[in-house]
């Protein structure tokens, strides 16, 4: 039995900003969904099911908000699923939707992820009360900074690598009209002089807190044939999880991330990711995670990731552009960030990424992670329908 | 049966004892013995499972990413293929069933859990209402169910004594269920919110459940009499109560049609009806006739661990098929105020 090929035929995002005071939560998600439908030239009636994802419900103060959002997303009378896998959720949500088509349970599915972080304070929302977590951890940066330090010690990477990533991603964001941060006057010197938040992570090397939503229309082979615009085809997708803490856990390069990438490459027939993949949208909420994930995902040998960054390989005009959209460092509605990675990868192979298009991109990877570097979701999309 | 690409069955089911309070247990301590039991029933180890999916709610746990803790109960090392829904475990089962349908997995472990005891679940559930127009009024889950019950009485579809009989029957049946929280006669009591009395309402408590799914011949190897999922579907309705006819459940009926419930008679119905009045609505939507065993486990009126009670309905129906007490059963799960979202599954044993 073979799976149904899955195609992305519609993509919609909101303009991501610090606070969307002009719309309700329903208004925010509907804006992205309507744009995805318009991109696909489909209507609400063409949608068989809705799969929605977001990070913790505490961020908006609404328990299981998909119940309230059923109307706004045209889901009444249809199946609606709500995924929550921490920071990887946007990617996981897309994969759950993709499986509905691949399994031939549904033909055309709307998938959407969002966060309206201005409804609360995400940093403290992620800082669990004692006894769940030690005091003064202060947000995700407090959790991840020691692991960045471990990476620097392990590889001998120079202190400046993180600032190079931040400067690159923020400049890429200037070419992406949907990105939250558009810092026209940013310089590398300013990044390097910005305040130290969680040593070694500086203010300009951290993600913003955003309101935003991202939606995609996934469909089967017949749906793709009717699509007026080029489709992005799913060549592989996988999720992997491991526990938060255990003796021997490698926080710098978690096994779950390696296994997840290996599964995706196997499905997609990729043997040399560095050569065969044209663009990567990876989940880099703190600058140093670019070199760390380059190694974890097999784009560089262990200890060598920072050298790619330093040599400019991951620049928009490098031979492995990473986060041409500006990435999580420029836009971070947490629950949506994974789906934005997946959608931006699809935009690249559809040739519709506008000013941040990687010329001739044929295969692109979307990557998301969450929790304590323990949940991973990835997909690989291509301009051609998969042959197997 | 060519409805789906692959035959998939429930091959094992386990649940905790459902208790009013479990102050001495964390969620992971509550879940872990259930996971061990359900895996032991199949002889599979966590690492041999193709896909794992859970359902739970951060709002009940009172902390963000609460499911990351219970993952420790699974033993996710080496890393596993895993996902989570912020929904009742019945929808986690649905996600796992889809995964098996893609051919990417042959087995799945599904679990869910909820502890209602640390807070006031009536108040907590108001947070899942429209945050702009309804939640600020804090209408609690019993009050909303009472609106539905009154609508049924006004429509002449039931009366208070008939509702009381639903509760009494459920708890009498629960006497044979060692896991149930309320077993045997329970006083009908005072009005909680008119017309619903204490006996019409579910007990508040803590509990967990787990199911193992398997495909095709593997299911036959793992289980003497697999409970084949011959149909499964779920549908959601509008959120605003003013847009809905509370005396009916069109989403349940549509899901049942899609799942093939009406293609042949069922002998068992496990319905996720936390309030006695909701059983009336579901019986109508599913066309349940006399002679069908409705909630022989005692149902949600005997034990209603949030986020798990729907999965338990599927598990109880499957267990009845496993032990030869049912040939064709319908299982139902619900979510949201007044049965807003509903899942329906048909489970069948091999012909004898």
Q: Which pLDDT score, from 0 to 100, does residue A140 have? A: 81
To test the contact with chain A by mutation, choose from B83, B138, B237, B335 the residue with the greatest count of A C-beta atoms within 10 A, namely B83
B71 and A243: CB-CB below 8 Å?
A: yes
Span B240-252, average pLDDT: 97
A204 vs chain B: nearest CA distance in angstroms? 26
Q: What is the DSSP letter of B343?
A: E
Going from the C-alpha of B233 to that of each of A80, B74, B194, the distances in angstroms are: 10, 27, 34
**Average pLDDT, whole number, for chain A?**
95
B128 and A78: CB-CB below 8 Å?
A: no
Going from the C-alpha of B3 to that of each of A291, A310, B101, B200, the distances in angstroms are: 47, 54, 11, 38
Strands B107-115 and B51-55: parallel
Which residues of chain A does B124 touch, with a Cβ-Cβ cutoff of 8 Å?
Answer: 63
Does residue A366 form part of some domain?
Answer: no
Please name the residues between 131 and 170 in chain A that touch chain B, using a CB distance below 8 Å: 132
pLDDT, tens digit, 9 for 90 and up, residues A295-322: 999 999 999 999 999 999 999 999 999 9
Does residue A273 form part of some domain?
Answer: no
Structural domains in chain B plus CATH codes: 8-119+204-222 (3.40.47.10), 121-202+230-347 (3.40.47.10)
**Average pLDDT, whole number, for chain B?**
96
Angle at A367 between CA A30 and CA B99, to 5 degrees: 75
Tokens of A207: 């993600």
Task: Count other Cβ atoms within 10 Å, centred on residue B131.
Answer: 19
Q: Which pLDDT score, from 0 to 100, does residue B1 have? A: 41
Q: Report the domain count for chain A.
A: 1
The C-alpha atoms of residue A66 and residue A20 are separated, in whole angstroms, by: 19
CATH (domain of A73): 3.40.47.10
Higher-pLDDT residue of A60, B65: A60
Which residues of chain A does B52 touch, with a Cβ-Cβ cutoff of 8 Å?
Answer: 241
A56 in B contact zone (CB under 8 Å): yes
pLDDT, tens digit, 9 for 90 and up, residues B87-142: 999 999 999 999 999 999 999 999 999 999 999 999 999 999 999 999 999 999 99
To test the contact with chain B by mutation, choose from A68, A85, A369 the residue with the greatest count of B C-beta atoms within 10 A, namely A68
Does residue A284 form part of some domain?
Answer: no
The C-alpha atoms of residue B352 and residue A15 are separated, in whole angstroms, by: 60
Tokens of B137: 């009024």
A125 in B contact zone (CB under 8 Å): yes
Does residue A116 form part of some domain?
Answer: yes
Q: Which pLDDT score, from 0 to 100, does residue A328 have? A: 98
- Phi-psi domain of A138 (left: phi exceeds 0; alpha: psi -120 through 50; beta: other): left
Span B181-202, average pLDDT: 97
pLDDT confidence of A162, banded at 50, 70, 90? very high
3-state SS class at B91:
helix
B72 and A244: CB-CB below 8 Å?
A: yes
- Of A125, A241, A260, nearest to B71 by CB-CB distance is A241
Chain A residue nearest residue B85, CA to CA: A83
- Of B102, B132, B239, nearest to A103 by CB-CB distance is B102
Residue A166: partners with Cβ closer than 8 Å, 6 or more residues away: A191, A202, A204, A205, A287, A329
Side-chain-facing half-sphere of A73: CA atoms under 13 Å: 38
Phi, psi of B109 (to 5 degrees): -105, 125
A79 and B236: CB-CB below 8 Å?
A: yes
The C-alpha atoms of residue A102 and residue A128 are separated, in whole angstroms, by: 38
Instruction: Verify cis geometry, omega within 30 degrees of 0, for the bond prior to A43.
Output: no
Q: Kindly tell me if the per-residue pLDDT of B339 is higher than 50.
A: yes
B131 and A61: CB-CB below 8 Å?
A: yes
DSSP letter string, B2-16: -SSSS-EEEEEEEEP
Does residue A152 form part of some domain?
Answer: no
- Domain of A93, in residue numbers: 7-120+209-226
The C-alpha atoms of residue A115 and residue A62 are separated, in whole angstroms, by: 11
Q: Which pLDDT score, from 0 to 100, does residue A337 have? A: 98
Q: Which of B118, B159, B142, B147 minimizes the C-alpha distance to B240?
A: B147
Does residue A88 form part of some domain?
Answer: yes
A222 in B contact zone (CB under 8 Å): no
Chain B residue nearest residue A91, CA to CA: B83
- Of B77, B128, B233, nearest to A79 by CB-CB distance is B233
Span A97-107, average pLDDT: 98
Cβ-Cβ contacts under 8 Å between A and B: the total is: 181
- 3-class SS shares of chain A: helix, strand, coil, % to 5: 40, 20, 45
Angle at A144 between CA B73 and CA A329, to 5 degrees: 120
Residue B212's beta-bridge partner residues?
B12, B109
Distance, C-alpha A34 to centroid of its chain: 20
Q: Kindly tell me if the per-residue pLDDT of B165 is higher than 90.
A: yes
A260 and B79: CB-CB below 8 Å?
A: yes
pLDDT, tens digit, 9 for 90 and up, residues A169-211: 999 999 999 999 999 999 999 999 999 999 999 999 999 999 9
Q: Which pLDDT score, from 0 to 100, does residue A268 have? A: 98
Does residue A68 form part of some domain?
Answer: yes
Distance, C-alpha A28 to centroid of its chain: 18
Does residue A21 form part of some domain?
Answer: yes
pLDDT, tens digit, 9 for 90 and up, residues A230-257: 999 999 999 999 998 899 999 999 999 9
């Amino acid at each position: 039995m073979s799976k149904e090929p899955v195609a992305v035929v519609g993509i919609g995002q909101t303009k991501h900003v610090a606070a969307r005071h002009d719309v309700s939560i329903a208004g925010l998600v509907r804006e992205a969904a309507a744009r995805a439908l318009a991109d696909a030239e489909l209507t609400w009636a063409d949608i068989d099911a809705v799969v929605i994802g977001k990070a913790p419900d505490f961020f908006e103060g609404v328990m299981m908000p998909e119940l309230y959002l059923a109307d706004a997303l045209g889901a009444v009378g249809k199946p609606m699923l709500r995924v929550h896998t921490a920071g990887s959720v946007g990617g996981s949500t897309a994969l759950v939707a993709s499986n509905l088509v691949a399994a031939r349970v549904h033909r055309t599915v709307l998938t959407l992820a969002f966060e309206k972080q201005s409804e609360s304070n995400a940093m403290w929302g992620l800082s669990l009360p004692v006894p769940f977590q030690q005091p003064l951890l202060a947000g995700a940066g407090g959790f991840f900074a020691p692991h960045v330090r471990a990476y620097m010690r392990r590889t001998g990477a120079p202190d400046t690598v993180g600032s190079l990533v931040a400067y690159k991603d923020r400049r890429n964001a200037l070419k992406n009209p949907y990105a939250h941060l558009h810092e026209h006057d940013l310089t590398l010197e300013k990044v390097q002089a910005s305040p130290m938040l969680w040593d070694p992570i500086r203010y300009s090397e951290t993600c913003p807190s955003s309101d935003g939503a991202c939606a995609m229309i996934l469909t089967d082979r017949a749906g793709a044939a009717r699509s007026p615009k080029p489709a992005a085809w799913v060549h592989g997708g996988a999720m992997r999880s491991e526990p938060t803490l255990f003796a021997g856990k490698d926080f710098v390069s978690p096994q779950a991330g390696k296994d997840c990438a290996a599964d995706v490459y196997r499905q997609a027939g990729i043997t040399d990711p560095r050569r065969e993949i044209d663009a990567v949208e990876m989940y880099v909420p703190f600058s140093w995670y670019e070199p760390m994930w380059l190694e974890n995902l097999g784009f560089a040998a262990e200890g060598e990731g920072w050298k790619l960054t330093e040599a400019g390989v991951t620049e928009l005009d490098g031979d492995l552009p990473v986060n041409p959209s500006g990435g999580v460092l420029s836009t971070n509605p947490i629950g949506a960030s994974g789906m934005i990675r997946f959608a931006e990868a699809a935009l690249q192979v559809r040739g519709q990424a506008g000013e941040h298009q990687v010329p001739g991109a044929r295969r692109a990877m979307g990557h998301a992670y969450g929790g304590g570097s323990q949940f991973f979701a990835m997909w690989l999309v291509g301009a051609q329908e998969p042959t197997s | 049966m060519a409805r789906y690409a692959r035959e998939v069955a429930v091959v094992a089911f386990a649940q905790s004892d459902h208790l009013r309070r479990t102050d001495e247990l964390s969620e992971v301590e509550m879940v872990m013995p259930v996971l061990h039991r359900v895996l032991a029933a199949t002889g599979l180890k966590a690492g041999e499972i193709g896909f794992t999916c859970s359902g739970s709610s951060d709002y009940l746990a009172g902390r963000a990413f609460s499911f990351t803790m219970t993952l420790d109960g699974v033993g996710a090392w080496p890393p596993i293929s895993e996902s989570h829904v912020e929904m009742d475990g019945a929808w986690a089962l649905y996600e796992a069933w889809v995964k098996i349908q893609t051919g990417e997995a042959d087995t799945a472990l599904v679990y869910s859990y909820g502890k209602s005891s640390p807070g006031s679940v009536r108040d907590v559930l108001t947070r899942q209402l429209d945050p702009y127009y309804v939640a600020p009024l804090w209408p609690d889950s019993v009050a909303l169910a009472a609106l539905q019950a009154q609508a049924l009485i006004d429509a002449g579809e039931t009366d208070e004594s008939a509702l009381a009989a639903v509760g009494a029957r459920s708890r009498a049946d629960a006497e044979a269920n060692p896991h149930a929280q309320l077993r045997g006669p329970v006083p009908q009591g005072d009005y909680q919110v008119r017309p619903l009395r204490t006996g019409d309402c579910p007990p508040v408590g803590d509990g967990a459940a787990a199911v193992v799914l398997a495909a095709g011949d593997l299911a036959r190897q793992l289980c003497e009499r697999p409970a084949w999922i011959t149909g499964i579907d779920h549908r959601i309705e509008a959120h605003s109560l003013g847009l809905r006819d509370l005396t009916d459940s069109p989403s349940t009926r549509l899901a049942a049609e899609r799942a093939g419930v009406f293609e042949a008679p069922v002998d068992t119905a496990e319905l996720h009806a936390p309030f006695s009045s909701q059983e009336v609505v579901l019986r109508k939507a599913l066309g349940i006739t006399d002679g069908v065993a409705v909630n022989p486990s005692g149902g949600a009126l005997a034990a209603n661990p949030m986020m798990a009670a729907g999965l338990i309905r599927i598990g109880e129906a499957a267990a009845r098929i496993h032990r030869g007490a049912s040939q064709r059963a319908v299982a139902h799960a619900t979510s949201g105020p007044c049965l807003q979202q509903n899942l329906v599954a048909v489970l069948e044993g091999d012909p004898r």
